[in-house]
Amino acid sequence: MSAVYERLKKCYECFRAKTDFTPDIALVLGSGLGDYADGIKIVSVLDYGDIDGFPVSTVTGHKGRFVFGYVGDVKVVIMQGRVHYYEGYKMEDVVLPIRLMKLMGAKILMLTNAAGGVNYGFHAGDLMLISDQICMAPSPLIGENPDELGVRFPDMSNIYDKDLRNIVRETAKSAGIPLQEGVYIQLTGPNYESPAEIRMVRTLGADAVGMSTACEAIAANHCGMKVAGISCISNLACGMTDKPLTHAEVQETADRTAPLFKRLVTESIIALAKEIQ
């Protein structure tokens, strides 16, 4: 048994000692969606600090806990506060929660985030369905491979599952929710990008940029989860306007867009659950 998997198993045993809940869908909440979990039918809550060896989020506003419950009739586990590489954690720590939710029983992972718009056709407040990604942070699969989770060289041709994307797209259309679509790129942060870096990532084909998500999607694919992802375009990226970037602006836009974002997440989860049945 690999050291990575051995540590993961200890986290799982600690989790399972506290609850017997088995989710079907896992949801990671990004900026602006932090209170989404408070509005579902909650069965139990588990603070990250109560799980032996589990990394704890240090970002202000991230509660740092798993919430177990129901969205409609769908059994979900929600990460209320993710762990970022820029906090100083090893990448295996950053994706440990994703792998743990897989062991919990989740078959589908929905990733959400607040991102900077790189595409000139985007505006602050837009929602973007992630069609593909570029990860410029270290791969979470570097080092000893946990064979119990996946193969050494996993395919990444369908990271954001095509069928799930179709479902989210149709859900948004039926609900009358405008939805952009594009490629998400993850840089390490925590600093915002320079104008030259934004020109670079646009040249590479990115439509939105952020500091999370791509590494989580890689780990999820590695361990056999289907992934869907949605970004809230919280601002236009550096150099696209004359305004300097601030976290307050990102949070303000994410909060303003939250009601529509929450509705799309809720209706998408209910629709995605049919893929499991």
0.85 surpassed by pTM: yes
CA separation for the pair 258, 264 (Å, rounded): 10
CA separation for the pair 154, 142 (Å, rounded): 12
**Amino acid found at 102:** K
Q: Where are the beta strands (DSSP E) in 62-206?
A: 65-71, 74-80, 108-117, 127-135, 180-186
CB 109 within 8 A of CB 225: yes
CA separation for the pair 22, 11 (Å, rounded): 15
What total of structural domains would you count in the chain?
A: 1
The CATH code of the domain that includes 267 is 3.40.50.1580
Render each residue's pLDDT in the chain as its tens digit; 277 residues.
788 999 999 999 999 999 999 999 999 999 878 889 999 999 999 999 999 889 876 666 557 999 999 999 999 999 999 999 999 999 999 999 999 999 999 999 999 999 999 999 999 999 999 999 999 999 999 999 999 999 999 999 999 999 999 999 999 999 999 999 999 999 999 999 999 999 999 999 999 999 999 999 999 999 999 999 999 998 887 777 777 767 777 777 778 888 999 999 999 999 999 887 6
Any idea of the CA torsion for 83, 88, 89, 95, to the nearest 10 degrees? 40
CA distances to 41, 82, 183, 209, 274 from 213, rounded to whole Å, are 26, 9, 12, 10, 24
Domain extent, residue 216, equals 3-275
